Structure 1
């Protein structure tokens, strides 16, 4: 069972995503509230995959993805954002993200993206 770290500054978004992932048979090992927190928790928890919101205070998801990839080149990051902007998606993919999920989350799409990456 894949171990997942969820990163989002909005508690209700983390809760929604956690609910979808647990129902999908995944193990949510931790939650981070911003990019800096995500990097710290990644090092501590060593999850199989990290979901990263793009727009967060302190450190955004793209910078966090780069930081995680610098620490572990084999890391698997999936970006989540309400903004399906092309430039954001490209920056995220350049940073090393493996996939992109747009909010509001659709359970099937989340499970499909995570399943593909894990």
Structure 2
């Protein structure tokens, strides 16, 4: 069972993803509200995958991906953001994101992205 860390500053979004992952036989090992917290929890939990919001207080999702991937190059991160501009998506992928999901998303999109990232 894949272990997932959910990172989003919106409690509602974390709860939505948590429920979706649990229903699809993934284990949520942690949740973070900020990029800073995400880096700390990644080091502690070493999850199989991270879903990362882009816009958060203290440290953005992009900064957090760069920090995590500099220490753990094999880290698998999927960006989840309401910002779907091509420039932002490209920057996330160049920073090491395996995939990019634009909010609002449908459940199937998220599960497919997770399965692709875990296989990569």
Q: Structure 1 length normalisation: TM-score?
A: 0.98
Given that 1:17 and 1:105 are in contact with CA atoms closer than 8 Å, whether structure 2 keeps it comes out as no
Residue 77 of structure 1, CA deviation: 0.4
Looking at structure 1, the residues matched to 62 and 7 of structure 2 have their Cα atoms a distance apart, in angstroms, of: 12
RMSD between superposed Cα atoms in Å: 0.6
Q: Which residue in the other structure is 1:44 paired with?
A: 44
User: What is the DSSP-based 3-state SS (H/G/I as helix, E as strand, rest coil) of the residue aligned with 1:52?
Assistant: strand
Matched, 1:109 2:115: no
Looking at structure 2, the residues matched to 105 and 40 of structure 1 have their Cα atoms a distance apart, in angstroms, of: 27
Q: Which runs of 5+ in 1 are unaligned?
A: none
Q: Which runs of 5+ in 2 are unaligned?
A: none
Q: Which residue in the other structure is 1:91 paired with?
A: 91
Looking at structure 1, the residues matched to 100 and 31 of structure 2 have their Cα atoms a distance apart, in angstroms, of: 18
Looking at structure 1, the residues matched to 94 and 48 of structure 2 have their Cα atoms a distance apart, in angstroms, of: 20
Matches within 5 A, 1:29-40: 29-40=29-40
Looking at structure 1, the residues matched to 71 and 38 of structure 2 have their Cα atoms a distance apart, in angstroms, of: 12
User: What is the DSSP-based 3-state SS (H/G/I as helix, E as strand, rest coil) of the residue aligned with 1:5?
Assistant: strand
User: What is the DSSP-based 3-state SS (H/G/I as helix, E as strand, rest coil) of the residue aligned with 2:40?
Assistant: helix
Matched, 1:71 2:71: yes
User: What is the DSSP-based 3-state SS (H/G/I as helix, E as strand, rest coil) of the residue aligned with 2:42?
Assistant: helix
User: What is the DSSP-based 3-state SS (H/G/I as helix, E as strand, rest coil) of the residue aligned with 1:69?
Assistant: helix
Residue 105 of structure 1, CA deviation: 2.6
Looking at structure 1, the residues matched to 25 and 105 of structure 2 have their Cα atoms a distance apart, in angstroms, of: 17
Residue 36 of structure 1, CA deviation: 0.6
Q: Which residue in the other structure is 1:61 paired with?
A: 61
Looking at structure 1, the residues matched to 66 and 95 of structure 2 have their Cα atoms a distance apart, in angstroms, of: 5
Looking at structure 2, the residues matched to 20 and 11 of structure 1 have their Cα atoms a distance apart, in angstroms, of: 14
